[in-house]
Amino acid sequence: MEASGIHEGSYPVQFGWCGLDLEPSAILVKPEPEWTPSLFDPNAYEMHGISYDAAHTLGEDAEVVAHKLNAALRGTAVVTDNQYWDGLWTARLADSTGVPILFGYNDSTNMASTFRDIYDPWCLDRRGSLFEAVDRFYPHTHRADEDALRMATRTRMLIDRDWSEWLLARPAQQPVARRPFRLR
């Protein structure tokens, strides 16, 4: 998830999610009337490249976003790298739209216990190299869909030996330079 900033009154501007199929999805949120430009921290744009104007012009109505999120994620526990802020911004979406959120969050630090029974021992033995490969090929970009993909790869690398072998065998490549947000 990306937001207008990390401060009181900040609000969501982009939600992203990705399953273990590694097919990410994202949705840009049009700010609600009370989500004003004055609450949009300029440093947020520096982080994720999404401006208030881009969210306002290209984003979908917040109520539509809430319904789409529920349709895609209903009954799941979404893995997050910051349960506090992601939960706060999701609650802000629910409060602003009146649409109850039908999914929850599981902090990524709890994943070891969540998936312990299905981890592949071969993958666990190589987790240091696997984390390095994920960092190389799936960098933390502060784009909701790309960061959701990164979170999914960090789970899949420990349960899918074939995929992990492929990941470790991939030749190194130069990271792609980030571009400003554009509608894809």
**Residue 82 Cα distances to 8, 11, 79, 109, 110, angstroms:** 16, 15, 9, 9, 12
Which DSSP string do the residues of the chain spell out, in sequence order? -EES-SSTT--EEEEEE--TT---EEEEBPPPTTS-GGGS-HHHHHHH---HHHHHHHPBPHHHHHHHHHHHHTT-EEEES-HHHHHHHHHHHHHHH------EEEEGGGHHHHHGGG--HHHHHTHHHHHHHHHHHS---S-HHHHHHHHHHHHHTTT-HHHHHHHHHSPP-PPPPP------
Residue 179 lies in a domain: no
Residue 120 lies in a domain: yes
Which pTM does this prediction carry? 0.86
Residue 183 lies in a domain: no
Q: What is the pLDDT of residues 94-108, one digit of tens each?
A: 999 999 999 988 888
Look at the chain and report how many structural domains it folds into: 1
Rounded to whole angstroms, how far apart are CA atoms 125 and 115? 15
Which DSSP string do the residues of 15-28 spell out, in sequence order? EEE--TT---EEEE
> What is the rounded average pLDDT for all residues in the chain?
88
CATH number of domain containing 54: 3.30.420.10
Q: What is the pLDDT of residues 57-82, one digit of tens each?
A: 999 999 999 999 999 999 887 888 88
Q: Is the pLDDT of residue 183 over 70?
A: no
Q: Is residue 5 very low, low, confident or very high in pLDDT (cuts 50, 70, 90)? A: confident
Where in the sequence is the domain holding 46, given as residue range(s)?
2-169
Structure-block tokens of residue 89 = 């911004």
**Residues 6 or more apart from 103 whose CB is under 8 A from it?**
69, 70, 73, 74, 75, 76, 77, 78
Residue 176 lies in a domain: no
Residue 13 lies in a domain: yes
Residue 87 lies in a domain: yes
Residue 184 lies in a domain: no
**Residues 6 or more apart from 67 whose CB is under 8 A from it?**
99
Residue 109 lies in a domain: yes
Q: What is the pLDDT of residues 26-39, one digit of tens each?
A: 999 999 999 998 98
